[in-house]
Amino acid sequence: MTKKGYKQSQEHIAKRIRTGEDHHAWKGSAVSVKGGRTRAYRIYKNISPCVLCGSFRSERHHIDGDTANNSPDNVIFICRKCHMKNDGRLEKFRDMAVINSKELVKISARKRRERTTCHNGHLFDDEDTYINPSGARVCKKCRTEYKRKWRKNGSKKI
């Protein structure tokens, strides 16, 4: 089956393409932050290594912080770590990670202590619960089943 209609020449198609200031919806410097970053992605497709550490995994950084300003003297290529150091986000991120990790450990330990059943749904009661040397509760039914499988497979990993 062939397409109907006439084929447009490349010159004709090129005339109809409107980008940048020629486009009817062009906002100029009143573009949003996301729009400015999108422009930078389009303008600077080929990324060079980080100018600070030489890493090949670099990204675009607007020196003045204005994403609408995509002039070559305002955009440099730096890796994520150098970018976060430059913006002051790295120290905040590290502090947040330390605080959150301590809190997460406390929360997960509390949840483990509050559990009333094992992962197979057996109740943790006095007769079916074994406390292992590290202090964790283990279901005797699941432990027995595990040992049975372990013996059957000849001490291979299950």
Select from 30, 55, 89 the last residue of a domain. Answer: 89
Q: How far is CA 152 from CA 139, 143, 148, in A?
A: 20, 14, 6
**What residues contact residue 48 under an 8 Å CB cut-off, 6+ apart?**
58, 77
| pLDDT the model gives residue 2 | 59
**pLDDT tens per residue, range 39-52:** 888 888 888 898 88
State yes or no: pLDDT of 57 exceeds 60: yes
| pLDDT the model gives residue 100 | 79
Whether residues 149 and 81 share a domain: the answer is: no
**pLDDT tens per residue, range 69-78:** 888 899 999 9
- Taking Cα atoms as reference points, which of 59, 35, 31, 32 lies closest to residue 45? 59
- Is 90:84 a contact under the CB 8 Å cutoff? yes
Select from 55, 89, 123 the last residue of a domain. Answer: 89
For the whole model, what pTM was predicted?
A: 0.48
Confidence of residue 157 (pLDDT cuts 50, 70, 90): low
Report yes or no on 135 lying in a domain.
yes
Whether residues 15 and 77 share a domain: the answer is: yes
Report yes or no on 95 lying in a domain.
no
State yes or no: pLDDT of 142 exceeds 80: yes
Whether residues 84 and 124 share a domain: the answer is: no
Report yes or no on 96 lying in a domain.
no
**pLDDT tens per residue, range 77-127:** 999 989 888 888 888 888 888 887 888 888 888 888 888 888 888 888 888
Mean pLDDT of the chain: 82
Whether residues 119 and 157 share a domain: the answer is: yes
- Burial string for 129-152 (b: 16+ CB within 10 Å, else e) reads beeeeeeeebbeebeeeeeeeeee
Confidence of residue 3 (pLDDT cuts 50, 70, 90): low
Report yes or no on 74 lying in a domain.
yes
Report yes or no on 33 lying in a domain.
yes
Whether residues 74 and 120 share a domain: the answer is: no
What percent of the chain lies above the pLDDT cut of 70? 95
Count how many domains the chain has. Answer: 2
Whether residues 71 and 124 share a domain: the answer is: no
Report yes or no on 103 lying in a domain.
no
Report yes or no on 52 lying in a domain.
yes
Whether residues 84 and 122 share a domain: the answer is: no
Whether residues 121 and 84 share a domain: the answer is: no
| pLDDT the model gives residue 77 | 93
Whether residues 40 and 82 share a domain: the answer is: yes
| Domain, as residue range, for 44 | 10-89
| pLDDT the model gives residue 70 | 87
Whether residues 83 and 117 share a domain: the answer is: no
